[in-house]
């Protein structure tokens, strides 16, 4: 490919929270890889039993060979004062479960008693993912009213909202009795991470369109219009995401590594291409051009996010000028583009260009998509036969900036992570102002690594780790992590997750960008709204869809 | 039915609440998950043991010898220490612990050792024996359906990797397997193998 020796980017640079919080969706994102994997499956609406108000049960399925996955939807009436998009709500407009196979009547009856209750209900190993959603009242009612009068809804209103329903959680992997991952992990179609969560959200989106059409028709069977396909395509599913996501990326270090590694490997391989052909450059330019139109629809009241959007916009203006000078005659053009971007753009702009550079290269990206999962249990056991001196080297090589942090300063330990009793959800609070720090979760990795390092410095270097742990079990959790990072360089956030300057939504943004979410709209520093599948092909269009749907121009 | 993921998470959190460090609690979560996966009463044993120690946290074991005597030993600290030292302990062949509370809880740690060392390990207490094979299976003999809250002695034996069958059984079976082979003629000998006649080039 190249005589250049392009290296992987340094984790000390990539794994900083401000950088991770500047990641954008890409060809590696799970929404997009889900559609690529399932586009040739057979889609079917198996049951649609709603009353005139749109309340009732519906079932949608994907089938291929003898495998079926079915979304079971339960829509119900709730009062306005019961509608909350916080995870702490107890009632929702609709609740959903992805069932393994086609549900029997008994299954549906069982699920009907449990799925609408969400966290306080129980599902079984036959169910794979669980979710709930609320209507975006202003968009939903407007669409229903317009359609029932035979008119299409106002596009400008829909562009502002971007969806008819907003989910507040999508659960998987054994929660509330759902199937454990080990039961299904060998299925080839779900090798990519979060495939079944992505499937659930995709099918929910179809349900929202069917429901508005159904209610509108029930209101006025004579006059009612069907929602225009182009308008529907530009609607996604909203999501409100809080701190629940943040511990996930700390608690799954090898998985985090696989995600970042695949992104970095793609970048390295693309930068190594010596001769770039015109077609590939044009795909890059085309996606970049279309995506810039989408950026104008990223609306938020958050000063933090507006700062990021404005930095991206001004970077892209700069980049445009630079790109005009680029030609395929330049050897290692992508490397030139990357080097220029690194020197001239801010983090938002740089990572945006990195995402765009992947667009022409199916041959590089496709093999990586199936490597974005991890058999985490394989790396759980600590290699206790190793020496303390080995561990010291690992800490010094992999936590260079973390071991320099002074945790004696109050600002370095300003926050603590905890699990709230009422909803069993992760939260963060000020250590010096709130009660509960003694029940802190093990998410202060930087502080605990520093503590381990200080212990290691005074321990006998020839001791085995087993011997060291006999009298130091308080740091066992970070000893495990240190041996993981020794093998998986991108497994750790290289920042202080309890410092006063922490912006928790940076942690959420990292995960959401890998999901493929767009339109980040922080509502505080602890939760945000996003959009998924906006522009995605509709169910009946899947087989003919192409992968650049995410850049479809918003009308 | 609770998922194994729920078993793991709840065991980990409960163990932390009972006074174990987060690192040990992580080990307990995986251990109880493993017991339940093998159909053994992990949750029941852990629940009873954590209730017992909630107000009086057990002592850690600082060193494992061939014989480990104490008034009361914690199955979790013994199990984790055993796991951490298994490469060294293997040389002792047989190791005994006296007065271990809820001895079933030590089992998943020994099972993990079996995987690490690539050797089967036999665990015996109170007339019950367990054979753990590479963390893939646990065979038990005389298992008591009642929960055992104290083992006066746990005997752990590392088993050498040797055949579990006689040479005669093997030879007879091998002879039968030969009946799938084709008798070689001169022609098959020269054409069937694929390699050249000389290996000196």
Please answer whether residues B116 and B86 qualify as being in contact, where contact means their C-beta atoms are separated by less than 8 angstroms. Answer: yes
Q: What is the model's pLDDT at position B196? A: 57
Helix (H) or strand (E) holding A81: none
A-chain residues near B32 (CB < 8 A): none
Contact (CB<8Å) A180/B30: no
Place of tokens 């929602």: A227
Can you tell me the distance from the alpha carbon of A86 to that of A422, in angstroms, rounded to the nearest whole number? 13
Residue A337 has phi, psi (to 5 degrees) of -60, -45
Please, which residues have CB within 8 angstroms of residue A421's CB and are 6 or more apart in sequence? none
Residue of A nearest to B17 (CA): A439
Nearest to B109 by CA among B74, B149, B143: B74
Q: What is the model's pLDDT at position A552? A: 81
Contact (CB<8Å) A465/B84: yes
Contact (CB<8Å) A469/B88: no
Asked if the structure places residue B122 within a domain, the reply is yes
From B26, B61, B84, residue closest to A384, measured CB to CB: B84
Q: What is the model's pLDDT at position A2? A: 52
Residue of B nearest to A471 (CA): B62
Residue A330 has phi, psi (to 5 degrees) of -75, 125
Please answer whether residues A147 and A225 qualify as being in contact, where contact means their C-beta atoms are separated by less than 8 angstroms. Answer: yes
In this prediction, residue B194 has a pLDDT band, given cuts at 50, 70 and 90, of low
Please answer whether residues B5 and B37 qualify as being in contact, where contact means their C-beta atoms are separated by less than 8 angstroms. Answer: no
Please answer whether residues B144 and B118 qualify as being in contact, where contact means their C-beta atoms are separated by less than 8 angstroms. Answer: no
Residue of A nearest to B112 (CA): A381
Contact (CB<8Å) B84/A173: no
Asked if the structure places residue B197 within a domain, the reply is no
Concatenated DSSP letters of A167-200: EEEEE-TTGGGPPPGGGTTT-GGG-STTHHHHHH
From A124, A385, A474, residue closest to B21, measured CB to CB: A474
The better pLDDT of the pair A299, B8 is held by B8
Res. B190: pLDDT tops 80: no
Q: What is the predicted ipTM?
A: 0.90
Please answer whether residues A128 and A172 qualify as being in contact, where contact means their C-beta atoms are separated by less than 8 angstroms. Answer: yes
Place of tokens 């753990």: B132
Q: Under an 8 Å CB criterion, which residues of B touch A?
A: 1-6, 13, 21-24, 26-27, 30, 60-63, 80-81, 83-85, 87-88, 112, 116
Q: Which two tokens stand for residue A369?
A: 């998509």
Contact (CB<8Å) A178/B3: yes
Asked if the structure places residue A63 within a domain, the reply is yes
Asked if the structure places residue B169 within a domain, the reply is no
Nearest to A554 by CA among A301, A235, A137: A235
Show the low-confidence residues of chain A (pLDDT under 70): 1-2, 85-88, 553-555
Can you tell me the distance from the alpha carbon of A221 to that of A426, in angstroms, rounded to the nearest whole number? 47
Q: Please count the structural domains in chain A.
A: 1
Place of tokens 């801010």: A346
Contact (CB<8Å) A470/B84: yes
Q: What is the model's pLDDT at position A82? A: 83
Asked if the structure places residue A322 within a domain, the reply is no
Asked if A150 is an interface residue toward chain B (Cβ–Cβ < 8 A), one would say no
Asked if the structure places residue A403 within a domain, the reply is no
Q: What is the model's pLDDT at position A320? A: 96
Q: Specify which residues A74 forms β-bridges with.
A: A57, A95
Asked if the structure places residue B171 within a domain, the reply is no
Contact (CB<8Å) A477/B21: yes
Can you tell me the distance from the alpha carbon of A419 to that of A417, in angstroms, rounded to the nearest whole number? 7
A-chain residues near B3 (CB < 8 A): 125, 174-175, 177-180
Best B3, B65, B85 residue to mutate vs chain A (most A CBs within 10 Å)? B3
B-chain residues near A183 (CB < 8 A): none
Asked if the structure places residue A229 within a domain, the reply is yes
Counting one residue from A and one from B, how many pairs have CB atoms under 8 Å apart?
Answer: 76
Asked if the structure places residue B183 within a domain, the reply is no
Please answer whether residues A89 and A131 qualify as being in contact, where contact means their C-beta atoms are separated by less than 8 angstroms. Answer: no
Q: Please count the structural domains in chain B.
A: 1
Can you tell me the distance from the alpha carbon of A514 to that of A262, in angstroms, rounded to the nearest whole number? 11
Please, which residues have CB within 8 angstroms of residue A533's CB and are 6 or more apart in sequence? A31, A201, A202, A205, A236, A237
Asked if A445 is an interface residue toward chain B (Cβ–Cβ < 8 A), one would say no
Please, which residues have CB within 8 angstroms of residue B98's CB and are 6 or more apart in sequence? B67, B68, B69, B70, B73, B152, B153
Please answer whether residues A99 and A128 qualify as being in contact, where contact means their C-beta atoms are separated by less than 8 angstroms. Answer: yes
Asked if A187 is an interface residue toward chain B (Cβ–Cβ < 8 A), one would say no
In chain B, pLDDT over 70 holds for what percent of residues?
95
Nearest to B64 by CA among B52, B77, B49: B77
Q: What is the model's pLDDT at position A229? A: 96
From A125, A469, A478, residue closest to B1, measured CB to CB: A125
Q: Which domain holds residue B29?
A: 4-158
Q: What is the model's pLDDT at position B189? A: 75
Asked if A478 is an interface residue toward chain B (Cβ–Cβ < 8 A), one would say yes
Distance of CA A406 to the CA centre of its chain: 32
Q: What is the model's pLDDT at position A244? A: 84
Asked if A175 is an interface residue toward chain B (Cβ–Cβ < 8 A), one would say yes
Best B1, B5, B7, B26 residue to mutate vs chain A (most A CBs within 10 Å)? B5
The A42-50 sheet, strands edge to edge: A42-50, A56-64, A67-75, A94-100, A127-135, A163-171, A236-241, A528-532, A518-522
Q: Which domain holds residue A163?
A: 39-242
The better pLDDT of the pair A459, B183 is held by A459
Q: Specify which residues A98 forms β-bridges with.
A: A71, A129
Chain B nearest C-alpha distance from A172 (Å):
10
From A180, A464, A479, residue closest to B4, measured CB to CB: A180
Q: What is the model's pLDDT at position B145? A: 78
Q: Would you mind telling me the total number of residues written for chain B in this entry?
A: 201
């Amino acid at each position: 490919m190249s005589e250049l020796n392009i290296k992987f980017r340094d984790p000390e640079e990539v794994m900083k929270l401000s950088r991770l919080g500047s990641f954008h969706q890409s060809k590696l994102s799970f929404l997009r890889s889900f559609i690529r994997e399932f586009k040739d499956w057979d889609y079917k609406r198996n049951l649609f039993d709603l009353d005139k108000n749109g309340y009732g049960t519906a079932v949608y399925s994907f089938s291929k060979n003898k495998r079926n996955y079915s979304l079971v939807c339960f829509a119900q009436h709730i009062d306005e004062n019961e509608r909350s998009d916080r995870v702490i709500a107890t009632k929702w407009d609709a609740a959903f479960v992805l069932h393994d196979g086609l549900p029997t009547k008994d299954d549906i009856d069982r699920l009907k008693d449990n799925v609408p209750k969400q966290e306080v209900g129980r599902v079984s190993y036959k169910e794979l993912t669980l979710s709930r959603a609320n209507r975006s009242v202003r968009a939903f009612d407007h669409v229903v009213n317009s359609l029932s009068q035979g008119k299409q809804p106002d596009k400008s209103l829909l562009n502002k909202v971007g969806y008819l329903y907003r989910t507040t959680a999508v659960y998987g992997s054994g929660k509330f009795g759902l199937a454990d991952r080990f039961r299904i992990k060998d299925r080839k179609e779900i090798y990519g991470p979060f495939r079944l969560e992505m499937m659930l959200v995709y099918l929910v989106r179809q349900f929202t369109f069917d429901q508005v059409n159904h209610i509108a028709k029930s209101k006025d069977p004579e006059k009612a219009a069907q929602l225009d396909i182009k308008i529907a395509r530009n609607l996604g599913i909203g999501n409100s995401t809080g701190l629940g996501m943040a511990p996930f990326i700390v608690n799954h270090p090898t998985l985090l590594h696989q995600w970042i590694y695949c992104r970095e490997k793609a970048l390295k391989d693309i930068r190594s291409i010596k001769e770039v052909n015109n077609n590939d450059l044009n795909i890059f330019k085309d996606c970049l051009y279309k995506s810039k139109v989408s950026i104008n629809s990223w609306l938020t009241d958050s000063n933090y996010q507006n700062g990021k959007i404005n930095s991206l916009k001004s970077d892209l203006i700069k980049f445009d000028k630079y790109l005009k000078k680029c030609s395929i005659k330049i050897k290692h053009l992508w490397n030139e583009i990357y080097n220029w971007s690194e020197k001239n753009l801010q983090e938002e702009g740089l990572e945006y260009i990195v995402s765009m550079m992947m667009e022409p290269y199916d041959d590089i990206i496709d093999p990586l998509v199936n490597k974005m999962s991890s058999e985490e249990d394989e790396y759980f056991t600590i290699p206790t036969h190793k020496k303390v001196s080995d561990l010291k080297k690992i800490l010094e090589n992999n936590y260079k900036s973390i071991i320099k942090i002074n945790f004696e300063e109050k600002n370095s330990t300003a926050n603590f992570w905890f699990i709230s009793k009422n909803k069993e959800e992760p939260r963060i609070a000020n250590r010096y102002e709130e009660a509960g720090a003694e029940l802190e979760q093990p998410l202060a990795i930087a502080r605990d690594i520093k503590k381990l390092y200080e212990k290691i410095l005074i321990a006998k270097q020839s001791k085995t780790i087993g011997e060291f742990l006999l009298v130091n079990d308080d740091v066992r959790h970070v000893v495990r992590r240190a041996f993981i990072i020794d093998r998986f360089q991108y497994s750790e956030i290289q920042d202080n997750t309890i410092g006063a300057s922490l912006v928790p939504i940076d942690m959420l943004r990292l995960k959401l960008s890998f999901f493929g979410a767009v339109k980040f709209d922080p509502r505080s520093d602890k939760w945000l709204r996003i959009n998924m599948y906006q522009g995605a092909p509709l169910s009946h269009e899947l087989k003919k869809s192409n992968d650049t749907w995410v850049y479809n121009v918003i009308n | 039915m609770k998922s194994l993921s729920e078993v793991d998470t709840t065991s980990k959190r409960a163990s932390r609440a009972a006074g174990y460090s987060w690192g040990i609690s992580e080990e307990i979560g995986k251990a109880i998950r493993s017991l339940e996966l093998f159909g053994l009463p992990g949750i029941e044993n852990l629940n009873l043991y954590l209730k017992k120690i909630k107000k009086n946290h057990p002592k850690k074991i600082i060193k494992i010898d061939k014989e480990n005597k104490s008034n009361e030993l914690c199955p979790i600290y013994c199990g984790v220490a055993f796991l951490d030292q298994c490469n060294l302990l293997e040389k002792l062949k047989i190791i005994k612990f006296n007065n271990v509370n809820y001895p079933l809880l030590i089992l998943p740690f020994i099972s993990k050792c079996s995987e690490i060392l690539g050797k089967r390990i036999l665990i015996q207490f109170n007339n019950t024996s367990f054979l753990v094979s590479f963390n893939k299976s646990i065979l038990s003999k005389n298992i008591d359906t009642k929960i055992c809250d104290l083992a006066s002695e746990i005997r752990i034996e590392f088993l050498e990797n040797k055949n579990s069958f006689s040479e005669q059984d093997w030879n007879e079976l091998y002879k039968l397997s030969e009946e799938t082979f084709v008798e070689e003629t001169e022609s098959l000998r020269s054409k069937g193998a694929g390699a050249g006649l000389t290996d000196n080039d």
